[in-house]
Structure 1
Amino acid sequence: MKKLVFIVLLMFISISMTEKGSARTLQLTDDALETVEEQQLSIKQAIELAYPSALEWNEHAELLDAISIDLDKPGKSIGSNGKRKYWNISFGVPDTNKFYLVTIHEGKIDQANDLTGEGTSPYPQKEFIQLEDIKYDSPELLKKALKMGNIYPGKDWAKGYNFMLKKDTERNINLLLVIGWNSDQTEMTAAGFDTSTGEYIKPNL
């Protein structure tokens, strides 16, 4: 559970902490609803959006992980379609300590930064994820998680359903976590899936 809380704390890490816009009091028009839908990306869509920037940074860049950021205002449908508006996508260069973070706000790249730290250990090849191995995306894996039951959207903190993709090096699989809460909102919970097969994998939390 401590690991899960740590994972979700990462959702709050964003290069830009700027408040965007004010609350709207008018009912959304059809055009506005369409705009909101365009701002929402699945985890694979967010990675595909971020990848070209990473390759411009370094032609050998590969994906390390992807995680949704908890910047949405409270609402009933956050993440319920398997998509989010805010993401952090991390890249590196295998066998080096090079690190690059792409931050997506409202469905578009907001910032992209070389965050290579002096003295950090090299990232071994086994920690990287190949895009072609992501055969199951967050919308369909959320559906699988909901069918299993016992996972509910967060209300005030880690709102809605959150998503994280990382390499499980112990089992050598690309693990996508669907993160939510128990029914009374007292404990966080997660369901894990192998993105190559769609198979449920119990997270090591």
Structure 2
Amino acid sequence: MKHLTLLLSVLFLVPACTKTTTSSSEGEIVNESIEGGLWKTDCLASGGIYLKGESSFSGGQYYSSLTVYSDSSCSTASLEVKEVGTYALTGTIAEGLFPKSKIDLTLSTLTTTVWSSSLISSFNSNNHCGISNWSVGETRSILGLICDSKQMGQAGDKFYDIYGVQVVGDSLMGVRAGDLLFGSKSTSYDGSSENKRPVNLSSSLTYRR
């Protein structure tokens, strides 16, 4: 599934989760589920733009959004790409202090909302995603369209990923206990099939409650 790729490239979190926190000589230990509660990234700088991600997984339904901002404090939104669909937790890969599990995502909707007037002008001039009448604040479906020379996903497309909610912090990866990570994507492991499911976690987009 090709998703969350407009000016950016990606990639994902929920209510009432069970969370247990204790202390140990090696630092904080957190046991937390991906389900139940809202997960968010920090305000991140990437390629001259600023962005924040947000995700939720609950009752078999998920949504994930990536919002681009015009300022370094991520207070003025320019554009949002949002996907909604269903998910299934399909097995454990590794347990212990650094767990990894499988998650399968099925896309239902994929939308873009633009708030920046300058982006609106650019999008309309360039027929972005094959659309020439973008307007400020209007949410448009981009399912199946070609945006920035990238084919967007169709409803029903399935994406095979992995995730891990960190039990302890990992200074090498720059993550803390309780952080949610997803799979590291590459041409060989792009999640488009079971055989291409990512095998390692990535800390490039780290979610926290």
For the superposition of Structure 1 and Structure 2, which TM-score range results when normalised by the shorter chain?
Answer: under 0.3
More strand by share: 2
TM-score by length of 2: 0.28
TM-score by length of 1: 0.28
- Structure number with larger C-alpha Rg: 2
